[in-house]
Structure 1
């Protein structure tokens, strides 16, 4: 864009900045690991940001570029403008916009931008005649802070699934989080205490996949910021406390045609799923090991993915129970027909995670893959022989195995692009190697005085 070439959406943002007396803009993006980054600029720079972009040093961002090619450009998406809800009464307003990252040397979108990777997946869906809708269910823990403001793993409640106060003492925190999210445009469906002490879930309405990924990144920021106002630490770490349920981010997916029809629905099918839906879920099952590296990207993720804690580890699907990797939720109306992938956790990069899910599903549709029969029994109760009988594989047992699966899966690696695939594998291989050579407290407690 050239200076002065302001679109109607951008003009609306400029008007809103003036009307709400916004002083600062946070131009937000994520690195390949999903960490939210931002460049803060005075609000008076908004028109320049729209017309020329804002330049920054990409060499300091995880997985972006080398020092000799470090200049990058942020181009804000005006549709993502929102005023931040956690300012103090005496503070001026601040707002954020989510940005796309461009390469200054070529003027083209940067291939290492996770948001671009998701857009590429959506372009593929569009070429096939589909729009992708998604709805995540991110879970998180609220822990108390110590006297120095550092996070502990002490919870402030004794609540369980769907409990009310006084057991659920964090209901006020959840309420303020919801108010903050709604002020930023979220449509909240429900919130409740989860199974574990200190664990919570807030569900927001499904949307197109790009908006959903933006919302997940925003959600994590808002939850942490408002929890901190209550002297609580919010964490999306998958398994912060051993031997209890971990936090997942079950993700619902559906395809809609250009005329607004749900491509996943077929009322004549036993499961109300179309052939397209069957092939889509078959594609996800086919690529599940590689998806796991992206959707469960930390060493800690695999402390959640173990049998016995309601986390799916078995590569199968079901229309009835939650022990399978993919579930077909009950749908009251045709437009709600969808599939639910239950393995992702909220530590993932939402742009990359949704991108690989979509590519895997579309790969199944293009190859016309046939889904296996659903497993209606509780797979957690199967022994190895019975799992073999049903042909049920397991997800990678650790981050190292998941990275190996990603490297071996050409379709998923290609979906990420050469830049992100190589940088992600490099970072995660190093993380796993660091974990392998570390000595944990568990090992010291068990072995130090015994041997």
Structure 2
């Protein structure tokens, strides 16, 4: 997109002159997107060298304080190099200047990848899967959020009127996302009062994660311009449904043909897809620390909460951590291309790059070691005896962030996927978070994270 140096914008009955700015951004371990802005017309001149960044920024917490244990101290310099293919622009958020966000990679000052860059970590996982198996992933993110202070009365869950009473918000959100080439699929009013869900079309894993971040920031900007508030926090209201980030994935060959479906396979999954899912289940207690990485996450992850609470794969059951989605056998639909699995134990306090990378590494471990799926069941694990759960290899997921971190520390394979500087910084950020909210009850935690996310 080209910009002239000056852009004249008229508003409020008088002419105003603005300088369009482009933000080059990175998303940190607290899932906060931070960055620096440049004059948009200078982007072509600056894109090869990016903007400056410092290592200790990775130690920032969601509370805008550095973690007490900051391995980076005050030294060092990095570059934040923009990826032109991950540039999201729209003029439809209601703001006077164009929303212009470019995802960046953190590099050393010589341009080599920085070992602790979350986006580079995902790139490595994608490459590892392809190099070892010749397989790729297609990924789609579904995200839930609440809007507050709308002045509207609570509407029925999933209702037509629940979405229409916020009109034209949903229409404008879809228009803004489409304008930014994000390809929204469905928007709906969800279970909670004021809760919405937006789903995005499948894409390459890297750009699916980029889009997940852009969706949040475009939504937040649009909501602000309505004079409302919004929150993607896992449990913004203690007595209402939580917000999940559901990650849908399927395996493809190098040419994009589906490798996920087998009519005779377990839950209609191919052997490769079944092994991929078996790997996720095997490492799920450990990787939960990165897919549900906040204290607030564990208020949501409870039995009978339509979230996740066990290492459970099921067909079409929304209590399961991994849900095999239905394959439609309607006229004109290709059955083989449809099959995908939904990972439900994720929320928006997770960095999408880290969460997706850990899923990929887990799945790759399942394929490499030919792991077998447990015996599937359509019975809720909460309604089983312990012997039944043992028979189906169903383990209760960690019930607090502390326990999830412990599970990661005691899974040497999963721990080994994380480069040491990234790993140590992640633990430090999360330790700070646990200490910061230790004195709060669940309602206070919900209120705090509602503002943070």
1:234 to 219, 230, 238: 230
Q: Where does structure 1 lack aligned partners over 5 or more consecutive residues?
A: 1-12, 146-154, 444-451
Q: Where does structure 2 lack aligned partners over 5 or more consecutive residues?
A: 8-18, 61-69, 329-334, 445-453
Alignment match, 1:55: 52
Give the match's secondary structure for 1:100: strand
Alignment match, 1:328: 324
Query: Residue 341 and residue 167 in structure 1: after superposition, are their counterparts in 2 closer, same or farther (change >3 A)?
Result: closer
1:29 to 26, 36, 59: 26
Could you tell me how far apart the structure 2 residues matched to 1:135 and 1:167 are?
Answer: 23
Contact 2:266 2:274 in 1 (8 A): no
Query: Residue 396 and residue 19 in structure 1: after superposition, are their counterparts in 2 closer, same or farther (change >3 A)?
Result: same
Alignment match, 2:421: 419
Give the match's secondary structure for 1:315: coil
With 164-173 and 228-237 compared, the bigger mean Cα shift is at 164-173
Q: Which has the higher contact order (CA 8 A, sep 6+)?
A: 2
Deviation for aligned residue 1:117: 0.6
**Alignment: residue pair count:** 417
Aligned 1:366-381 pairs, distance under 5 A:
366-381=368-383
Alignment match, 1:224: 220
- Establish whether residue 138 from structure 1 lines up as the match of residue 143 from structure 2: yes
- CA offsets, 1:219-250, max 9 Å, x none? 11011110111111110110111133211111
Alignment match, 2:367: 365
Alignment match, 2:84: 78
Query: Residue 134 and residue 338 in structure 1: after superposition, are their counterparts in 2 closer, same or farther (change >3 A)?
Result: same
Query: Residue 414 and residue 20 in structure 1: after superposition, are their counterparts in 2 closer, same or farther (change >3 A)?
Result: farther
- CA offsets, 1:317-353, max 9 Å, x none? 1114222211111123211212111111122110100
Aligned 1:248-267 pairs, distance under 5 A:
248-267=244-263
Query: Residue 79 and residue 28 in structure 1: after superposition, are their counterparts in 2 closer, same or farther (change >3 A)?
Result: same
Please, what TM-score do these two structures have when normalized by structure 1? 0.86
1:268 to 264, 270, 291: 264
Query: Residue 389 and residue 269 in structure 1: after superposition, are their counterparts in 2 closer, same or farther (change >3 A)?
Result: closer
Give the match's secondary structure for 2:302: coil
Please, what TM-score do these two structures have when normalized by structure 2? 0.86
Could you tell me how far apart the structure 1 residues matched to 2:156 and 2:417 are?
Answer: 39
Alignment match, 1:17: 3
Aligned 1:322-401 pairs, distance under 5 A:
322-332=318-328, 333-384=335-386, 386-401=388-403
| RMSD of equivalent CA atoms | 2.4
Deviation for aligned residue 1:398: 0.2
